[in-house]
Amino acid sequence: MARLLVTGGAGFIGSNFVHHVIENTDHHVTVLDKLTYAGNRASLAGLPEDRLTFVHGDIGDAALVDGLFAEADAVVHYAAESHNDNSLHDPRPFLDTNIIGTYTLLEAARRHGTRLHHISTDEVYGDLELDDPARFTETTPYNPSSPYSSTKAGSDLLVRAWVRSFGVQATISNCSNNYGPYQHVEKFIPRQITNVIRGIRPKLYGAGHNVRDWIHADDHSSAVLTILERGEIGETYLIGADGEKDNTSVVELILTLMGQPADAYDHVTDRAGHDLRYAIDSTRLRTELGWRPRFGDFESGLADTIEWYRTNETWWAPAKDATEAFYASKGQ
Helix (H) or strand (E) holding 182: none
Q: Which band of pLDDT confidence, cut at 50, 70 and 90, is reported for residue 89?
A: confident
Of residues 329 and 235, more confidently modeled: 235
The percentage of residues in the chain with a pLDDT greater than 70, rounded to a whole number, is 99
Q: What is the mean pLDDT of residues 206-233?
A: 96
What is residue 199's predicted lDDT score, i.e. its pLDDT?
A: 96
Backbone φ and ψ for 184, nearest 5 degrees, come out as -60, 145
123 is catalytic: yes
Q: Which of 33, 58, 81, 122 is catalytic?
A: 122
Q: What is the mean pLDDT of residues 261-281?
A: 87
What is residue 147's predicted lDDT score, i.e. its pLDDT?
A: 92
Chain segment 125-156, per-residue pLDDT in tens: 998 988 888 999 999 999 998 899 999 999 99
What is residue 271's predicted lDDT score, i.e. its pLDDT?
A: 73
What is residue 292's predicted lDDT score, i.e. its pLDDT?
A: 96
Angle, in degrees to the nearest 10, between helices 298-311 and 313-329: 100
What is residue 328's predicted lDDT score, i.e. its pLDDT?
A: 84
148 is catalytic: yes
Angle, in degrees to the nearest 10, between helices 12-24 and 217-230: 60
Chain segment 296-327, per-residue pLDDT in tens: 899 999 999 999 999 999 999 999 999 988 88
What is residue 41's predicted lDDT score, i.e. its pLDDT?
A: 96
Domains of the chain (ranges, CATH numbers) = 3-178+214-239 (3.40.50.720)
Q: Are 124 and 153 in contact (CB under 8 A)?
A: yes
Angle, in degrees to the nearest 10, between helices 247-257 and 188-198: 30
61 to 67, 100, 194, 220, 223: CA distances (angstroms): 10, 10, 36, 28, 29
Of residues 99 and 328, more confidently modeled: 99
pTM, to two decimals: 0.95
182 is catalytic: no
Does residue 274 surpass a pLDDT of 80?
no
Q: Which band of pLDDT confidence, cut at 50, 70 and 90, is reported for residue 83?
A: confident
Q: Which of 33, 58, 123, 213 is catalytic?
A: 123
What is residue 299's predicted lDDT score, i.e. its pLDDT?
A: 96
Q: Which of 103, 148, 237, 309 is catalytic?
A: 148
What is residue 82's predicted lDDT score, i.e. its pLDDT?
A: 78
Q: Which band of pLDDT confidence, cut at 50, 70 and 90, is reported for residue 244?
A: very high
Of residues 268 and 237, more confidently modeled: 237
The torsion defined by the Cα of 140, 144, 150 and 156, in degrees rounded to 10, comes to -10
Instruction: Give me the half-sphere count of Cα atoms (radius 13 Å) on the Cβ side of residue 123.
Output: 22
Mean pLDDT, the chain, integer: 95
How are strands ordered across the β-sheet holding 52-56? 52-56, 28-33, 3-7, 74-77, 115-121, 170-175, 236-239
Q: What is the mean pLDDT of residues 47-70?
A: 98
Q: Which band of pLDDT confidence, cut at 50, 70 and 90, is reported for residue 34?
A: very high
What is residue 269's predicted lDDT score, i.e. its pLDDT?
A: 82
